[in-house]
Each structure stands twice: as structure tokens, then as C-alpha cells.
Amino acid sequence: MAGSANENGGEKNHNLNEAKNRKRGFSLIELLIVVAVILIIASIAIPNLLRAKIAANQCAAVQRTMTSAEQTFSSTYSDGYALTLAQRAGPSVRVVA
């Protein structure tokens, strides 16, 4: 009987050691789920980032064009830079954009 009690106790300790060993790392399924979630998030985010990049490039192109036009105007006319609509209208007129 004493031998069988030790064997049962040994099994319990063995099961506890297995449980402790399992808690140390991630299982393969957990890692695959994390990778799948990251891929889903990336597939949603990347097209939006590309659209934002295209819009930023278009904005930069417009800004370069406006800067070039402003420089051409200021070099053609000795008055300097072109006046904005609010500056041309005077202080009494409020321009709402």
C-alpha cells in the first residue's frame, strides 16, 4: 500500500510539473492566431496608408505650383508678393472662406 501511495503522489507531482511547463510559453495555435490578427490589421491599414501618401504627394505638387506662381508674380511685378483677397478688400470687409 505504501508503494502505491508514493506512486499516486508521484503522478500528482508529475502532472503539476507538466502544467508548469505548459505555462512557460505560447502554443503553436496561439502564435498562429496572433500572426493572423497582425496580418488582418496590416491588410486593412496598408491601403489607407497608400491613399494618404498619394494625397500628400498631390498636396505637395499643388504647393510647389503655387510657390512657383508666387515667385513668378513677385519677380514680374516690383510690388512684391501678391495680396490675398482679404488684403485687397481692406479691413472693413470680412472674407469667409
Give tens-digit pLDDT for 47-95: 999 999 999 999 999 999 988 888 887 778 766 666 665 565 555 555 5
The whole domain housing 76 covers: 2-89
Q: Assess contact for 42 and 35: CB atoms under 8 A.
A: no
Does 52 map to a domain?
yes
Hey, what's the cell of 43? Answer: 491588410
Does 45 map to a domain?
yes
pTM of the model: 0.44
Does 94 map to a domain?
no
Does 49 map to a domain?
yes
What is the Cα–Cα distance from 80 to 67, expressed in whole angstroms?
Answer: 13
How many domains, in total, are found in the chain?
1
φ/ψ of residue 23, rounded to 5:
-80, -10
Hey, what's the cell of 54? Answer: 498619394
